[in-house]
Structure 1
Amino acid sequence: MKTVFTTLFLFLLLSALAVGGYGFVQYEQFTKQKVSESAPEIFEIKKGSNIRRVAADLEAQSIIKPAWQFQLLAKITKQENKIKAGEFAIEPGMGPQDLLDRFTSGKTISYNTTIVEGFTFKELAKKLQADPNLVKTLTPDDYKYENIMAKIGSDEKNPEGWFFPDTYNYPRGTTDVDFLKRSHKAMKQFLQAEWEKRDSVVPLKNPYEALILASIVEKETGVPEERPLIAQVFQNRIRKGMMLQTDPTVIYGMGDRFKGNIRKSDLRRPTPYNTYTRHGLTPTPISTPSAEAIQAVMHPEPSKALYFVARGDGTSHFTNTYRDHRKAVIKYQLRGNAKAYQGDK
């Protein structure tokens, strides 16, 4: 009887060793697997997925299998509860551990959208509505100027100028509201930080006035290096109580009526944005100002200039008196024809 038990014990022991050895060989083979050229390039882990779901999806898509061994690897390496949601790039030659490391790193595939400096909110809204990478939750009615800021949880009343121009990277699943909130927060933080560092001579009452003037500087600047000087011209005019008299504000006030040219009647039409008929700043920004335009307003270049005129090559000619400004207009815009000058009429 004792011999029978001994024999049975040895048999079971050998069987266990054989099974264990076979399992070890299988596991070793599993860890040496490589993702094939035919595997999907993108693998998505949805929110709430656990390691079992991830392993099953990997097997179903023929990326790595069997699923149970991937789960075992995650358990052994203590990564089973560290999986992140998102889209991940899958590359040929990656092994099971490479995949686990990527899934727990949070290095998901990102998409990007750029807010261009000088955009109006209307142009920004149109771009976001057509962006294929953002999840659309806002309706055309939500994008209306009177509605949008409440939709993103802001106390501001008008969206113009309140979204920081930059290229934003984000993962799949980002909504239009998420995107606008992020950009709005970036603008508020940047504007406040720059306001606190402004030159003491800046004749503006608050950060919003600086945002408005920066939006005008943005639209008036032909070459970047002239922003601080253009900002100074407008601030000099504000100090003297002069009208800003800048064409981009007229164009903004014309809205869809603007067809490429400003007529004399447009300069005389008293819209809230016509700085040829009204003193002071416009009611709101007229565009999305760049960081450089905001900084130019906070740190203008010292000058007594009150006027500038485009030379035709992207740069401007700056003058301190109306008489010199008249000469510059005749020279650079009227090709020397003084009779064509109508600024005094």
Structure 2
Amino acid sequence: MIKKITLFLLFVTALAAGGYIYTAKQVDQYINQPLQLDTPQIFTISSGTSFNRVLQNLTESEMISSSDFAKLVRRFHPELTQLRAGTYLLESGITLKNALEQFKQGKEHQFAITFVEGSTFNEWRDILQNTPYLEHKLSGLSEAEIAQKLGIQNKKLEGLFLAETYHYTFGASDFDILQRAADKLQLVLDEHWATRQDKLPLNSAYEALILASIIEKETAVESERERVAAVFVNRLNKRMRLQTDPTVIYGMGDKYDGNIRKKDLRTPTPYNTYTIFGLPPTPIAMPGEASIKAALNPEDSNYLYFVASGSGGHVFSKTLAEHNRAVRAYLKQLRSNQ
């Protein structure tokens, strides 16, 4: 009798062990299934979402196949169940286990938003409004109201943010991006203002931003920035009008249709440097650090004029006669290319 009982217990134990091994194997097979993704996909876990609900969401999104053993993952692999809320990028070819480990470690996807040097605040607003996975807090606010929320005294925000690429995670807001861009601009401006050349015709760091924005709009050639800056600094020192087309365009606003006519050069606006002396009242675009540096450390030269060369750069001149010859050469090249 004892022998029979012993054999029975051994049978039950073996059966239980076999069942456990089979179940564990099925659970492992479930968590090691590759995600069904042709391309990388964004997946968000909201705060308070349970582990089982995450598995259900993955199933409903057709990223994984369902299994009766899904509910046993918590028992066999408790180390995979402590997931962090966030937004994740799931790459093609990874397994469910890889994804759960990613969720556990909280390796959220870093989104990126890029603002190009020379862009305007209105363009920034459009970019922010159309950027996904970003909370929109600035919609419907005026420029002055946004400035107030950012703690910026200027009611006009042109030029007060540093143009570059900013990374963010799910849950960040457009306000957060602007605050970071404003803080970064101030750091860069303070750094270069502290190391500026002596006797510049600039009364404040804000005026340096205005000049930097004009430089930004005038040239995209890195090697020309300090020379373009020198032209404007020399003209300011000689009390010559800056006569730079980008300021005319900015002053025209919505009236600009892609062409500047002679009447536009003669039409006064606060920004038209063909009709006003000195700098316009505000920046005309968002400058990059290179243009800020150039504005505060221009080239040591006597150039007073420049015109497009027709090959991507500019021809610089020290006298009006030289400049007029360069203009005629440029116009001749334009006609020959037509």
User: Which residue of structure 2 aligns with residue 124 of structure 1?
Assistant: 124
How far apart are 1:43 and its partner, in Å? 3.3
Cα-Cα RMSD:
3.4
How far apart are 1:303 and its partner, in Å? 0.8
How far apart are 1:10 and its partner, in Å? 9.6
Summarize the Cα distance change of 1:51–1:277 in structure 2 as closer, same or farther, 3 Å threshold.
same
User: Which residue of structure 1 aligns with residue 336 of structure 2?
Assistant: none
User: Which residue of structure 2 aligns with residue 85 of structure 1?
Assistant: 86
User: Which residue of structure 1 aligns with residue 185 of structure 2?
Assistant: 187
Kept after mapping to 2: 8 A contact 1:222/1:316:
no
How far apart are 1:17 and its partner, in Å? 7.2
User: Which residue of structure 2 aligns with residue 43 of structure 1?
Assistant: 43
1:284 aligned counterpart, secondary structure: coil
Identity of aligned residues (%): 39
Summarize the Cα distance change of 1:178–1:13 in structure 2 as closer, same or farther, 3 Å threshold.
farther
Aligned equivalents of 1:265, 1:173: Cα separation in 2: 49
Aligned equivalents of 2:37, 2:72: Cα separation in 1: 19
Aligned equivalents of 1:224, 1:39: Cα separation in 2: 43
Q: Give TM-score, length-normalised by structure 2.
A: 0.80
User: Which residue of structure 1 aligns with residue 258 of structure 2?
Assistant: 260
The amino acid of 1:123's aligned partner reads E
User: Which residue of structure 2 aligns with residue 160 of structure 1?
Assistant: 158
The amino acid of 1:319's aligned partner reads S
Kept after mapping to 1: 8 A contact 2:229/2:295:
yes
Aligned equivalents of 1:274, 1:60: Cα separation in 2: 59
1:146 aligned counterpart, secondary structure: helix
Summarize the Cα distance change of 1:222–1:53 in structure 2 as closer, same or farther, 3 Å threshold.
closer
Matched, 1:27 2:24: yes
Moved more, 52-61 or 213-222: 52-61
What are the Cα deviations for residues 76-102 of structure 1, in whole angstroms up to 9, with x where unaligned? x3x654624213415445152x22321
Kept after mapping to 1: 8 A contact 2:83/2:100:
no
User: Which residue of structure 1 aligns with residue 72 of structure 2?
Assistant: 69
Kept after mapping to 2: 8 A contact 1:161/1:287:
yes
The amino acid of 2:163's aligned partner reads P
The amino acid of 1:104's aligned partner reads K
The amino acid of 2:217's aligned partner reads K
Point out where structure 2 has 5 or more consecutive residues left out of the alignment. 334-338
User: Which residue of structure 2 aligns with residue 147 of structure 1?
Assistant: 145
Kept after mapping to 1: 8 A contact 2:161/2:286:
yes
The amino acid of 2:232's aligned partner reads F
Count, aligned residues = 327
1:87 aligned counterpart, secondary structure: strand
User: Which residue of structure 2 aligns with residue 99 of structure 1?
Assistant: 99
Aligned equivalents of 2:14, 2:43: Cα separation in 1: 37
Summarize the Cα distance change of 1:190–1:21 in structure 2 as closer, same or farther, 3 Å threshold.
farther
Aligned equivalents of 2:60, 2:16: Cα separation in 1: 27
What are the Cα deviations for residues 122-148 of structure 1, in whole angstroms up to 9, with x where unaligned? 222233334455443433x41x33333
Summarize the Cα distance change of 1:181–1:74 in structure 2 as closer, same or farther, 3 Å threshold.
farther
Summarize the Cα distance change of 1:282–1:110 in structure 2 as closer, same or farther, 3 Å threshold.
same
Kept after mapping to 2: 8 A contact 1:36/1:63:
no
Point out where structure 1 has 5 or more consecutive residues left out of the alignment. 336-345
Summarize the Cα distance change of 1:187–1:18 in structure 2 as closer, same or farther, 3 Å threshold.
farther
Kept after mapping to 2: 8 A contact 1:51/1:83:
no
How far apart are 1:247 and its partner, in Å? 1.6
- Structure 1 segments (4+ residues) deviating >6 Å: 6-14
Aligned equivalents of 1:67, 1:292: Cα separation in 2: 56
Moved more, 62-71 or 180-189: 62-71
The amino acid of 1:162's aligned partner reads L
What are the Cα deviations for residues 256-278 of structure 1, in whole angstroms up to 9, with x where unaligned? 22233333333333321122222
1:180 aligned counterpart, secondary structure: helix
Q: Give TM-score, length-normalised by structure 1.
A: 0.79
Kept after mapping to 1: 8 A contact 2:27/2:76:
no
How far apart are 1:301 and its partner, in Å? 1.8
User: Which residue of structure 2 aligns with residue 338 of structure 1?
Assistant: none
2:276 aligned counterpart, secondary structure: coil
User: Which residue of structure 2 aligns with residue 340 of structure 1?
Assistant: none
How far apart are 1:289 and its partner, in Å? 1.4
